[in-house]
Structure 1
């Protein structure tokens, strides 16, 4: 009899990718996905440890799931509860001490063991925990994702990080940098294309640190991998995230220049414009290093747009440090960015640093930074008005006959076109900039690709 699986995914795109593969791993064992938690026989919370108070938010959600299970048991039914992801990795056995009603706790490197863990749980009186970093790769064991919905898909090529930024938990929850063989990535890409995908986003905690074995037995860089993917028939767009400035090598920069399928948009986190703070963060680059890298990227690809991550209120941040961040933002001019107040992560060096910044100062600085970043985003969108670009139809719009598309620079574009289908690539002229999207009119073109992911 088919059982129902509900997965709630928190955080980054890699968790979305992992959730899809957990669903694929459980499908042969009788689990079919559902969007209604009330119908589920198995609930999986795939967690993220990056945001503030992440663990507390998970325990709060677990309390609600436990109430649902109590209701199910009162009616003679049951519900299995699993916690996966980075909070599971960080908490481990402590999760069962605090919430003994959990059935399974599984870390990001052990997802392929989830069916086995569920079977073990049926034979034990206590929840099952697996937060090991096994010798076998989960990518060798996990099946491909179920048929993707829409024309775009994620594809993980690298996991883990060796940078050990002092604010970050990733090296402790995802482990050391590890890259998948290029042949396996190319095979998965071909499968996605066969399912109707025409845009692939390559994922990694530090994706441009990719060093996978190529079919020729040599180590391939991310730039080399992108060039190989670009040769696949039907792959119209390539993106990648998230990058580290220290790993932006010449071969990747020239790929931005030479590979038309590689979209002109790059997420390149800097975190701060202060050299003193960058050193305290263990970023291994200075502000001038970052600015020179931006110049090289824009020389290679003049229409390249950038986004970034910023932390305000890092321990020891002075007014001068914060002003240095504002100056860097003004020099780069971002198309979009993510900015946050610093919050301590247990187990990270920064959580033990002295000179923690007061919350009121953090809030004031964050508001000033976000005002500048938002002005730059609006300016970038305004500059799009009157330009002609190719957009990818992602879904139906809210109004009949309208579609929502995505520009090469990740902007949402709304246009009318009753004959367009999801997965079409079409030329448009941008006619307006809305608060969070662009408006466009369809241009006649013989190059429209019809319904690749209809």
Structure 2
């Protein structure tokens, strides 16, 4: 699937569209003896965004991005880094020099979730702007340690620039919606978004999100939800683009790759045959994990 405690003048906002971009113009007082008018507390829908000046100019700050978890999470982080870099933000590994921390979490193992919680506390102590993403806030948005923080849902990573920009202004934005198309759940954000690969030779492609099972012990199911497969033509287009950019290895990943296509009338073998046609000589394809009972029924 975020000041020591929280940014000053923080507003809790469900979506960026709810913000009003009108500039606040305060008239000068005409009399020294005249008392300034005290305005009533504004409602969220009346929130005013102050003009960005100086260090608040969007796209000029340093962003520290930390990722925990599976290849799918790593792919999400690469997409977020790509969009931020394309907008002008600088991705840095120096957390002390960063203006904002973007933490992409994992719920599969407790140690990863503990590290995520500890990193949040560290960012608060250092007075950093903070945005959290990934399966932890998506699956447990009411958890005490993410309250008051900006949150990006696992299907909202294509709006990371907006969330980062508003968080740097002191606003709190929460995006946990589910994308749908023609009444059906989609896999998530577009596969053709810009990317900053951690390894420039490897492209990680999430072919679907969620799964068909209902395992009682699995918190990832609560975060990623039911099966949502990407159309095969989008996956093939992403693979071709990656090879053209110098990638020599493709990783196909998801919560359960074996279930791919069952919600859109296709299958994993059909996808693999289409991908084989576009793999250049000397390059290779790796297939991620799947459940045994699904694998033998592909």
Query: Normalising by the residue count of structure 1, what TM-score does the alignment of the two structures yield?
Result: 0.47
Size of the aligned set, in residue pairs, is: 234
Report the counterpart of residue 232 of structure 1 in structure 2.
278
1:83 and 2:83 correspond: no
CA contact (8 A) 1:25 1:143 kept: yes
CA contact (8 A) 1:66 1:101 kept: no
Matches of 1:195 and 1:62 in 2, distance apart?
Answer: 35
Matches of 2:123 and 2:170 in 1, distance apart?
Answer: 21
What's the CA shift for 1:60? 1.4
Higher strand share: 1
Higher helix share: 1
CA contact (8 A) 1:93 1:129 kept: no
Q: 1:166 to 1:118 in 2, by over 3 A?
A: same
Matches of 2:129 and 2:170 in 1, distance apart?
Answer: 13
The structure with the larger Rg is: 1
- Secondary structure at the counterpart of residue 58 of structure 1: helix
Report the counterpart of residue 249 of structure 2 in structure 1.
199
- Secondary structure at the counterpart of residue 7 of structure 1: strand
Report the counterpart of residue 303 of structure 1 in structure 2.
none
- Give runs of aligned pairs for residues 297-316 of structure 1, distance below 5 A: none
Report the counterpart of residue 154 of structure 1 in structure 2.
204
Q: 1:148 to 1:139 in 2, by over 3 A?
A: same
- Give runs of aligned pairs for residues 240-319 of structure 1, distance below 5 A: 240-249=287-296
Selected match of 2:230 from 180, 186, 198: 180
Per-residue CA deviation, residues 312-364 of structure 1 (Å, 9 max, x unaligned), is xxxxxxxxxxxxxxxxxxxxxxxxxxxxxxxxxxxxxxxxxxxxxxxxxxxxx
1:133 and 2:167 correspond: no
Report the counterpart of residue 143 of structure 2 in structure 1.
94
Per-residue CA deviation, residues 392-426 of structure 1 (Å, 9 max, x unaligned), is xxxxxxxxxxxxxxxxxxxxxxxxxxxxxxxxxxx
Per-residue CA deviation, residues 288-330 of structure 1 (Å, 9 max, x unaligned), is xxxxxxxxxxxxxxxxxxxxxxxxxxxxxxxxxxxxxxxxxxx
What's the CA shift for 1:110? 1.5
Per-residue CA deviation, residues 226-284 of structure 1 (Å, 9 max, x unaligned), is 1111111416311111201222256x6xxxxxxxxxxxxxxxxxxxxxxxxxxxxxxxx
- Give runs of aligned pairs for residues 37-436 of structure 1, distance below 5 A: 37-52=95-110, 54-69=112-127, 79-95=128-144, 98=145, 102=149, 104-121=150-167, 127-135=172-180, 137=186, 138-140=188-190, 143-146=193-196, 149-211=199-261, 219-234=265-280, 236-249=283-296
What's the CA shift for 1:132? 2.1
Matches of 1:147 and 1:91 in 2, distance apart?
Answer: 28
CA contact (8 A) 2:200 2:247 kept: yes
Q: 1:105 to 1:147 in 2, by over 3 A?
A: closer
Matches of 2:227 and 2:214 in 1, distance apart?
Answer: 11
RMSD: 2.5
What's the CA shift for 1:194? 1.0
- Secondary structure at the counterpart of residue 38 of structure 1: coil
Unpaired runs of 5+ residues, structure 1, are 70-78, 253-454
Matches of 1:233 and 1:207 in 2, distance apart?
Answer: 19
- Secondary structure at the counterpart of residue 110 of structure 2: coil
- Give runs of aligned pairs for residues 442-453 of structure 1, distance below 5 A: none
Matches of 2:296 and 2:189 in 1, distance apart?
Answer: 26
Q: 1:80 to 1:208 in 2, by over 3 A?
A: same
Unpaired runs of 5+ residues, structure 2, are 1-58
- Secondary structure at the counterpart of residue 189 of structure 2: helix
Higher relative contact order, structure no. (Cα contacts within 8 Å, ≥ 6 residues apart):
2
Matches of 2:285 and 2:249 in 1, distance apart?
Answer: 6
Moved over 6 A (4+): none
Q: 1:198 to 1:86 in 2, by over 3 A?
A: same
Matches of 1:142 and 1:152 in 2, distance apart?
Answer: 16
Matches of 2:191 and 2:273 in 1, distance apart?
Answer: 27
Q: 1:57 to 1:151 in 2, by over 3 A?
A: closer
